[in-house]
Structure 1
Amino acid sequence: MARSGSGSRIAALSVAGVLAGTVLVGCGDGGSDSDTAGSAKKASASGGPGAREEGTRAVRSAYDRTAEEDTARVTLKVRTSAQGDSVTADGKGTVDLEDGDSVMTVTAEGQRMEQRVVDQVLYQKPPAGQAPGGKPWIKIDLEKVAARQGAGGQTMNDPARSAALAKAVDDKDVTEKGTAEVGGVRTTRYRVVVDVAELPDGRKLSEQVGPTLPMDLWLDDEGRIRRQQVDMTVKAAPAARGESRAGASSGPRQVTVRTVLEFTDFGVDVDADAPPARQVTDMTDEAARQGGVRS
């Protein structure tokens, strides 16, 4: 597949989508009930008036229960579309469910890239000869980028704040959608709608992703997340001069991102180490200007 100007920018945004999705697990919101998962199943099966409330409790406690496992193996698929072009990125690796450190291999448009997140700094190793600066690795400080783009972006990128997503869900926003096997494990699927206004700096964030954020969660018998699907429609910056196709609008673009993650092998080792500084080119400023992550 040839890389057009817009296609290249979509590939960059797909990596940003990977990051946005992976940190949604993060750390929990505290005070989980050890009987929540079981009581939710009983209420749903009986069709009683407490079914929706129990489903909400199961969703909220899932973030705690998953984070309590400390680490997991993760696979993901991110489909990013804009202006008639789309890119699918596939990844696999390991993630620290509490602080967000991760080691992954991401493949998009037939090219493979190594990616690490260490202490909220993203390191990427593009295919040989494609990294700027003549060094094998690039780095982007996610906290600095988030600070320049507003606190709303930091909510999406900071695992320590990701529990706010669960807190922004109430009874009317959770619907049980049946059961399914995920990686050979029986799960219960929940459709969740997050009220963006309830998130930190929600007004700013809603300008980027709209008033609500739809998610689907598949929880196992212990209430842990086995699969998570997030759909976002993001208002992206206009294409740079010369990159937009004939007839394309030069105004803000609508970029849709679907991120699907699956978690297995809880407790696996995660060796997320920063590469040597002499091998790294800092691209934080450029990432902040573009509003995305280069690939």
Structure 2
Amino acid sequence: MRVKGTKTGAIALSALMGSVVLSGCGGDGGSGAKGGDASPGTSASRSTGAREQGTVEVRAAYDKTAEAESARMTIDMKLSAKGRTITSDAEGVIDLAEGDSVMTVTAQDKSIEQRVVEQVLYQKVPGQKAPGGKSWIKIDLKKVAARQGVSNQQIGDPAQTAAYAKAIIDKNVEKAGTEKIDGVDTTHYKVSVDVSRIPGGDQLAEQLGPTLPMQVWLDDEGRLRRQQIDMTVKAPASASAEPDGSGSPEQLKMTTVMQYSDFGTEVDAEAPPAGQVADMTDQALQGTSTQG
């Protein structure tokens, strides 16, 4: 059960790191609002221009956030599958340029010390030993993502954000209003990412569907202050049949809300000493193969 829980945590974190990249969709800047003569009957043009400007802002959001180099982050996550719901929350700091992080995760009444260093997940449960009497377990998120058919771009590779910018076009962005978050004025956008336009999108679409709905809240400097992603993950066709013979594909629904503050805070993310770490990547990969 410990291995299964760890695998689920790794996959969930992969999705979380991916959503940081996806929501920002930084890159080439896209098309800006078009100018034109203000005249009767141009409301549709003004609406189109506003939508285009929103697209520019959303596409540039990750780059502008990353310019802060680091931030304090909180995460609230809810996972639902097979009639069960698990909630968890986390708080800590993240290197916005590299994706490394140091966080404390609370899940199922357990507090977990967690680090991500160079896309390797490390976890330690106080008072609980890992296999071999070690204090920490580690899972290589790149290998887990590859087994799932997901590029490592989905787990926090900011250098690839330009590729995701192509997945958002004007019709995908809708301004939803303004809101204060922790006393900061923000603009709220609803975003629909075209999964087919993401690298490896054809494979991802089998699990995520054609679109990925997200919401982002940007401050006056264009930085992310809050992001919400609602995801339904389906088992791939090769693993869609349930063991009980029902033939119904397994689905996991996940809602994740992340908030950013204290930009520029110090991040000290270091891997634990190798002698204190048990590598659980193979067990996670076996679980991924079994469950699809």
Q: Which bin holds the TM-score, normalised by the shorter protein?
A: 0.7 to 0.9
| Pairs within 5 Å for 1:24-39 | 24-26=19-21, 29-32=26-29
Question: What percentage of aligned pairs have identical amino acids?
Answer: 51
Is contact 2:3–2:284 with CA below 8 Å preserved after alignment?
A: no
Letter of the aligned partner of 1:193 in structure 2?
S
Which of 261, 284, 288 is the aligned partner of 2:285?
288
- Measured after TM superposition, the shift of residue 255 of structure 1 is 0.1
Preserved CA contact (<8 Å) 1:24 1:163: no
Q: Distance in 2 between matches of 1:10 and 1:82?
A: 14
CA distance in 2, matches of 1:67, 1:137: 29
User: Counterpart of 1:149?
Assistant: 148
**Separation in structure 2 between the aligned mates of residue 94 and residue 289 of structure 1, nearest angstrom:** 31
2-structure distance, mates of 1:190, 1:266: 21
Give the 3 Å change call, closer, same or farther, for CA 273–109 of structure 1 in structure 2: same
Q: Which amino acid aligns with 1:263?
A: Y
- Note if contact 1:188-1:219 (Cα within 8 Å) is conserved in structure 2: yes
Equivalences for residues 180-195 of structure 1 within 5 A: 180-195=179-194
Q: Given that residues 79 and 253 in structure 2 are in contact (C-alpha distance below 8 angstroms), is that contact kept between their aligned partners in structure 1?
A: yes
Amino acid at match of 1:267: G
Q: 1:11 to 1:260 in 2, by over 3 A?
A: farther
Per the TM alignment, residue 30 of structure 1 is displaced from its structure 2 partner at its CA by 3.7
* TM-score of the aligned structures, taking structure 1 as reference length: 0.83
1:8 deviates by 9.2
Q: Secondary structure at the match of 2:268?
A: coil
C-alpha distance in 1, partners of 2:196/2:105? 32
Aligned residue pair count? 274
Moved >6 Å (runs of 4+): none
The amino acid across from 1:272 in the alignment is A
The 1:287/1:219 distance shift into structure 2, 3 A limit, reads same
Paired with 1:198 and 1:288, the residues of 2 have a C-alpha distance of 27
Gaps of 5+ in 1: none
Greater Cα offset, 18-27 or 100-109: 18-27
Distance of 2:131 and 2:262 partners within structure 1: 36
Matched residues in 2 for 1:70 and 1:177: separation? 28
Residue 104 of structure 2 corresponds to: 105
Partner SS state of residue 186, structure 1: strand
Indicate if the aligned counterparts of 2:175 and 2:189 stay in contact, CA closer than 8 A: yes
Gaps of 5+ in 2: 36-42
Distance 2:146 2:270 in 1: 24
The whole-number CA distance in structure 2 between the counterparts of 1:29 and 1:212 is 18
How high is the TM-score relative to the length of structure 2?
0.84
1:65 equivalenced with 2:64 (yes/no): yes
Describe how 1:65-84 pairs up with structure 2 within 5 A.
65-84=64-83
Root-mean-square deviation over aligned CA pairs: 3.1
Pairing 1:17–2:12 present: yes
User: SS of the residue aligned with 1:66?
Assistant: helix
